[in-house]
Amino acid sequence: MHDWLTPQWPAPARVKTCVTTRTGGVSVAPYDSCNLGMHVGDSLQAVQKNRQRLVSLLGCKPAWLEQVHGVAVVEATPAQVLQADASWTQKPGIACTVMTADCLPVLFCDRAGSRVAAAHAGWRGLAAGVLEATLDKLALPADQVLVWLGPAIGPQAFEVGGEVRDAFVAQHAQAAVAFQPSNNAGKFMADMYQLARIRLAARGVVAVYGGDFCTFNDPRFYSYRRSAQTGRFASLIWLTNFIGRVCGPASANDSGQGCAA
């Protein structure tokens, strides 16, 4: 059994989503068990088996990315691995996919269910504008966009230097509220979820859901800050041509056991 998640948000019926966790795969420690990252030192054979299991369970074709903490947004394609930190599609069956282990995965769709996107937002990508770049590619009216913020390191665990705070406040003065002084001089505890909401709101996007996880403190997820030698979990979003859920219903706290066949 696995404990993969389905976001709780008012997406149209043809918009499908899934967030994997550590369980449900074949990787051994310290990657146990459903590591989906090819670049972290895990057995490539194990990762391939984990990815094959993912495809067989979900029935979609993930478009994997080579993520570089940048702002490039590409059209999702399962045929090749593109260097980018976000992808979008309007084609059914292709899953925009990002992998994380503390960075913020962000899923997008429109109220009509015509297109979807997924972005990988570490603090560098977030500050550089990866969410805004994704919105530009979607080319949708702001009031038609729905966003879900997936599992990331929480504000009680994400300590950063003053230069990180300065990078965000220089662009949006209100970002100062997302940083609280830590117990270490010159350091701050940063709230990635709040920073994402501030930047999305600046573009008129206010239908934002999720944002109540902490990968560092939740053992269901991989966390680079908790253990530098670790795997990656995936957040996926795709369109179908039919009405009805593929994944099971999420619970009130987004922890439902979904994404089973």
Confidence (pTM)? 0.93
Whether 175 has a pLDDT exceeding 60, the answer reads yes
Question: Given CA atoms 218, 216, 214, 94 in this order, what sign does their dihedral have?
Answer: negative
Sorted by sequence, the CB contacts under 8 Å of residue 235 that are 6+ apart come out as 17, 18, 19, 20, 97, 98, 99, 100, 105, 107, 118, 150, 151
3-state secondary structure the chain: CCCCECCCCCCCCCEEEEECCCCCCCCCCCCCCCCCCCCCCCCHHHHHHHHHHHHHHHCCEEECEECCCCCCEEECCCCCCEECCEEEECCCCEEEEEEECCCEEEEEEECCCCCEEEEEECHHHHHHCHHHHHHHHHCCCHHHEEEEECCCCCCCCCEEEHHHHHHHHCCCHHHHHHEEECCCCCEEEECHHHHHHHHHHHCCCCCEEECCCCCCCCCCCCCCCCCCCCCCEEEEEEECCCCCCCCCCCCCCCCCCCCCC
pLDDT tens digit string along 199-228?
A: 999 999 999 999 999 999 999 999 999 999
Sorted by sequence, the CB contacts under 8 Å of residue 75 that are 6+ apart come out as 87, 88, 89
Mean pLDDT across 39-56: 97
Q: Which amino acid is at 2?
A: H
Q: What is the mean pLDDT of the chain?
A: 93
Question: Given CA atoms 21, 115, 48, 36 in this order, what sign does their dihedral have?
Answer: negative
Whether 12 has a pLDDT exceeding 70, the answer reads yes
Please return the burial class of 218, using the count of CB atoms within 10 Å of its CB with bins 0-12, 13-18 and 19+: middle
Question: Given CA atoms 243, 58, 231, 5 in this order, what sign does their dihedral have?
Answer: positive
Q: What's the pLDDT at 252?
A: 33
Q: What's the pLDDT at 246?
A: 41
Q: What's the pLDDT at 259?
A: 56
Domains of the chain: 15-152+208-239 (3.60.140.10)
Q: Which amino acid is at 15?
A: V
Q: What's the pLDDT at 182?
A: 97
Q: What's the pLDDT at 167?
A: 97
pLDDT tens digit string along 230-253?
A: 999 999 999 998 544 444 333 333
